[in-house]
Structure 1
Amino acid sequence: MMTLTRPLPSWINLEALLPYIGTLLLILGASTAFPQVLSLDYLTQQLQIAAFLGVLATGATIVILLGHIDLSVPWTLNGAAIVATAMAGSGNAALIALAIPAAILFGAAVGAVNGLGVTILRIPSMVWTLAINSILLGLAVLNTGGFNPRGESSALMSWLATGSIAGLPVSFLFWMAVSLALALVMTRSGFGRYLRSIGYNEKAVYLSGVSTRSVVVGAFVIAGVCSALGGVLLAGYANQAYQSMGDPFLLPTIAAVVIGGTSILGGCGGLFGTIGGVLFITILNSVLSVAQISDAWRSIIFGAIILAMLLFQTLRRGGRT
């Protein structure tokens, strides 16, 4: 009798599992010298911190799967935070209620501009999004005069960033909800299938009759919305927006995606691995901080571990070709 077996989902592979294994080893190794690393309070705090990076990396994964990259994350985040806190601190009930939707709309608009610039003008995404990031920086400085923007977070923004439900941070649950929603889109819709296909071979997908332009623009819009949501969470955590609040997140965002097994060339990877990459980077930064490692050595260790994991992925993929 013939038996049929279903293939494993594409996200169940060594590249996706590696950051989870690395995170577990980091925690267990650090606990031998710092037992507090295993405490519930510590781990819960790390989940809260990871959520800020996680929301950004979720959007970045969508774009990188296409073989593109979004370098406008820092000031899309900053701009959304400035918009949200300005409206939330206005004292007007209607504006306060619209603070988060306005931030999301801002992120979507930036994403649309990025997508249209890449698809219509055919400018490489790295160059276009870096230029957009610079323009957003300049607009923010013109708006604030170079000082920290005025305004404060709303009660909802603060709750999303610092609240808890059943002992779990709301920010972590929010990140998981965003990841689940996008995972369903990627696995249950034509958009998700075309996303990976374009990453493999955009020309072939275009010749098959698919509107690749709309898929690329849609992916950049999603990334812009995720960057804006990251700004909302960070502003809620700090109770304000401040200059350059998004700058430290650019490289960790890209690193989390690639460490999670998503190819920088596109077409391979997924959100499951990205979640592991975010957790790995968050725990690594925390352990190095707890160990009171100097900034210089922390940078060296952080970079060496990331390069080692990327080298492993490259060698493993090369062995399959």
Structure 2
Amino acid sequence: MLRHVSVDSLMPYIGVFILVFAGSAFFPQVLSVDYLTQQLQIAAFLGLLATGATIVILLGHIDLSVPWVLTGAAILSTALVGSGNPVLGALAVPAALAFGALIGMINAAGVAILRIPSMVWTLAMNSMLLGLAVLNTGGFNPRGESSELMITMASGDLLGLPVSFLIWIVISLALTWLLTRTPFGRYLRSIGYNEKATYLSGVSTPSVLFAAFAIAGMCSALGGVMLAGYANQAYQSMGDPFLLPTIAAVVIGGTSILGGRGGLFGTIGGALFITLLTSILSVMQIGDAWRNIIFGVIILVMLLFQTLRKGAPT
């Protein structure tokens, strides 16, 4: 992973150190082990979503169905556990991942086969998933509960580190290997640079898109499973607050929104930065409206920075 480090991907880590030490000047508990460990745990939820988003953005596309893929997976997994059937309960996590992969492939079908812009198609999918959830629950919070496995994945610890953080890092390392050591990774970046040229070179670009969107869907679903384990329930619109921070984490991590350039090392730093920034803003009692404004400004600044770097002479 470190072999593919760029200046852009290092910036969020610098931001993390600045936030930690600046925050500690006003809130000394920021430097405590308990506080930092808690931030790693919470960052894992956002990090999993941003990991999947990075794969899609490297293609030059974007997935706006993240909120309700997350929520749908959480509703499905808790419903299976709450059914009282041990067999269905054991299938809760695999079923949620399969759900995420299915939605990802439907997204890919719209983009790769029907040639509909990913922003429009995935936003429509998000809206349809919302409608299906409301029909299923009648507009009320869904019934169900989390399994012990889901709770351990979200809130357990191993050797002093949160299990959720370890899961996130393992998945990031596996996907980094896929992106840097396999033809799939080369094809994915090539599509981000120039999809038409990649197709004309003999690459099955639809296959790459299907795989990438399926991976993104499973990452969003796993994030939903872990959030349900953290809260011990699923609830309506639990994924809505994550869309803007997810995109912000990817962009802050140095991945070009136009595709072809970036990686997961920067995304990890971006997720840590966003999580820590959100926590400090909460401690400072900054409202949600101002947080959204701050996230939006950060995204615009990073996009401007990337544009200026791309246009600068080498």
- TM tier, shorter chain? over 0.9
The partner residue of 1:121 within 110, 114, 122 is: 114
Partner amino acid, structure 2, of 1:193:
R
Counterparts of residues 1-321 of structure 1 (less than 5 Å): 11-320=4-313
- Tell me how many residue pairs correspond in the alignment: 314
Q: How many angstroms apart in 1 are the aligned matches of 2:239 and 2:291?
A: 20
| Cα offsets for 1:243-295 (capped at 9, x unmatched) | 00001101111111011000010000000000011011011111111122344
Assess, with a 3 A threshold, how the Cα gap between structure 1 residues 63 and 132 changes in structure 2: closer, same or farther. Answer: same
Partner amino acid, structure 2, of 1:318:
G
Q: How many angstroms apart in 2 are the aligned matches of 1:181 and 1:264?
A: 22
Offset at residue 315 of structure 1 (A) = 1.7
Offset at residue 298 of structure 1 (A) = 3.6
Q: How many angstroms apart in 2 are the aligned matches of 1:217 and 1:274?
A: 22
Query: Which SS does the other structure have where 1:32 is aligned?
Result: helix
Q: How many angstroms apart in 2 are the aligned matches of 1:104 and 1:15?
A: 31
Question: 241-250 vs 309-318, which deviates more?
Answer: 309-318
| Cα offsets for 1:61-103 (capped at 9, x unmatched) | 0000000000110111111111100001111111111000000
Q: How many angstroms apart in 2 are the aligned matches of 1:225 and 1:236?
A: 16
Q: How many angstroms apart in 2 are the aligned matches of 1:123 and 1:318?
A: 29
Q: How many angstroms apart in 2 are the aligned matches of 1:261 and 1:234?
A: 26
RMSD across aligned positions (CA): 1.4
Q: How many angstroms apart in 2 are the aligned matches of 1:267 and 1:244?
A: 32
Tell me if structure 1 keeps the 8 A contact 2:251–2:299.
Answer: no
Q: How many angstroms apart in 1 are the aligned matches of 2:292 and 2:120?
A: 26
Query: Which SS does the other structure have where 1:268 is aligned?
Result: coil
Q: What is the TM-score with the length of structure 1 in the denominator?
A: 0.95
Question: 81-90 vs 305-314, which deviates more?
Answer: 305-314
Unaligned runs of 5+ in 2: none
Tell me if structure 1 keeps the 8 A contact 2:256–2:306.
Answer: no
Query: Which SS does the other structure have where 2:312 is aligned?
Result: helix
| Cα offsets for 1:170-216 (capped at 9, x unmatched) | 00001001111111111111111100011011111111111001001
Q: How many angstroms apart in 1 are the aligned matches of 2:191 and 2:294?
A: 35
Tell me if structure 1 keeps the 8 A contact 2:57–2:259.
Answer: yes
Tell me if structure 1 keeps the 8 A contact 2:251–2:302.
Answer: no
Q: How many angstroms apart in 2 are the aligned matches of 1:301 and 1:9?
A: 29
Partner amino acid, structure 2, of 1:291:
M
Partner amino acid, structure 2, of 1:235:
A
Q: What is the TM-score with the length of structure 2 in the denominator?
A: 0.97
Offset at residue 296 of structure 1 (A) = 4.2
Offset at residue 10 of structure 1 (A) = 6.5
Tell me if structure 2 keeps the 8 A contact 1:11–1:273.
Answer: no
Q: How many angstroms apart in 2 are the aligned matches of 1:228 and 1:309?
A: 28
Identical positions, percent? 74
Unaligned runs of 5+ in 1: 1-7
Assess, with a 3 A threshold, how the Cα gap between structure 1 residues 76 and 37 changes in structure 2: closer, same or farther. Answer: same
